[in-house]
A and B are shown apart, each in its own frame.
Chain A
């Protein structure tokens, strides 16, 4: 009897999840002619705004730097020093370790490890969806977590994504932003990399929701976190190199990429 109930709940959760994604899909794929009037106006005003921002020929006023598009960086000299430190850390330690790990562990297994850690971070996403009032997101997250933890063998396989149950990547930094907190200023932490004051507070808070924090043995949590970092790096070797190769100033390029990416995540 109990089990029947559970199946039922999962089915409902799944159904709600699917309904959400299908409606999302249909709005994402509307034909331009189907735009409603309001939507058109909204789009047009966005276009006008973006036009204004960049039509350099007619522009005399200061358009870009003052519009909050860049993050304040009063600690720049210190941040640059830490950037250099992290750069060396990557090329001298992290990359060689990740490369060795990559030659030993096949890609399929590394993707499983990634899936496992993603699934384990469910409480962070769930609570932050709730804190932002995104109840559908929280529900779909729960559905994905249940499916992956059972059918996905404790999270090793990401069945949820395969059947279009979407992940809603929310964290405390984004929650604080949704409730009006600005980024304050940029911080490039040694070891941890790009962040802002707000996102640092967020990361610290999210640690309380991370199951790894509550592992009994003193050494387990750092061990697992280290594995996660090496595993992720092994799947992304080359990304940092190409950022550096494309950039005139890699420090500024990374700072801006971090900030723009965060802005888009907050908007979602």
Chain B
């Protein structure tokens, strides 16, 4: 009798874990989800699978990602204290090149999409800042936690950083940039960035 009770409780607990609906999903999550769904639709579209259509496919992904990511904010944060020392022209050129590199990295990643499940597991909003927690579940029995860090600008939410398995993209580039800037110069950094995007 006692054991039956435990089994019942275990099932109840199972239901509680699996059965909850994400009623919390707010605007930042919707924005991330909308863009992610659009991108996944593009990469899984059989009409665009043809290698000859690669340029077209990548262009469509690029347009969609541009609606989500704030490249200037990412650039500003990645350069850190060095940002203020640059003039408008240099800033513009930097945002353009760095944005290209980030776009390409992102597109390369999603092009490798093979039916992974994307779960939206949490959201925190505080004023103009928000964080959206996502879990990518692969078929290889791994879960990749991703946090989208967002900021509201012009009545819209924009991503300014992505934290993948605890590794912030912005912090990772900031470490690289400050290392390069310490050993060479802003011109040297721009040269490296140009070479990288031309690869």
- Chain B binds chain A: yes
Name A residues whose Cβ lies closer than 8 Å to a Cβ of B.
4, 7-8, 11-12, 14-15, 18-19, 21-22, 25-26, 28-32, 40, 43-44, 47, 51, 54, 56-57, 59-60, 62-65, 69-70, 107, 110-111, 114-115, 158, 161, 163-164, 235, 238, 242, 245-249, 252-253, 255-257, 260-261, 263-265
List residues of chain B with CB within 8 A of the CB of A60.
81
Q: Which residue of B lies closest to A65 (CB)?
A: B178
Q: Is the beta-carbon distance between A29 and B121 smaller than 8 angstroms?
A: yes
Q: Is the beta-carbon distance between A32 and B84 smaller than 8 angstroms?
A: no
Picked from A15, A56, A161, A263, the residue with its CB within 8 Å of the CB of B13 is A15
Q: Which residue of A lies closest to B169 (CB)?
A: A246
Q: Is the beta-carbon distance between B124 and A54 smaller than 8 angstroms?
A: no
- In the complex, per-residue mask of B45-69: 1 if CB is within 8 Å of any chain A CB, else 0: 0000000000000000000000000
Q: Is the beta-carbon distance between B24 and A30 smaller than 8 angstroms?
A: yes
The 6 closest A-B pairs by CB, nearest first: A264-B166, A18-B13, A56-B83, A246-B105, A256-B175, A31-B24
Q: Is the contact region of chain B dominated by helix, strand, or loop, or is it mixed?
A: helix
User: Does B180 interact with chain A (Cβ within 8 Å)?
Assistant: yes
Q: Which residue of A lies closest to B160 (CB)?
A: A54
Q: Is the beta-carbon distance between A15 and B122 smaller than 8 angstroms?
A: no
Name B residues whose Cβ lies closer than 8 Å to a Cβ of A.
3, 6-7, 9-10, 13-14, 16-18, 20, 22-24, 26, 76-77, 79-84, 101, 104-105, 108-109, 112, 121-127, 129, 133, 139-141, 165-168, 170-180, 189, 192-193, 196, 199
> How far apart are A117's CB and chain B's nearest CB, in angstroms?
12
> How far apart are B127's CB and chain A's nearest CB, in angstroms?
7
Listed by A's residue number, 11 A-B pairs whose Cβ atoms lie within 8 Å are A14-B10, A18-B17, A29-B22, A44-B127, A107-B139, A114-B141, A242-B109, A245-B108, A246-B101, A248-B193, A253-B175
List residues of chain A with CB within 8 A of the CB of B13.
15, 18-19, 22
List residues of chain A with CB within 8 A of the CB of B10.
11, 14-15, 18
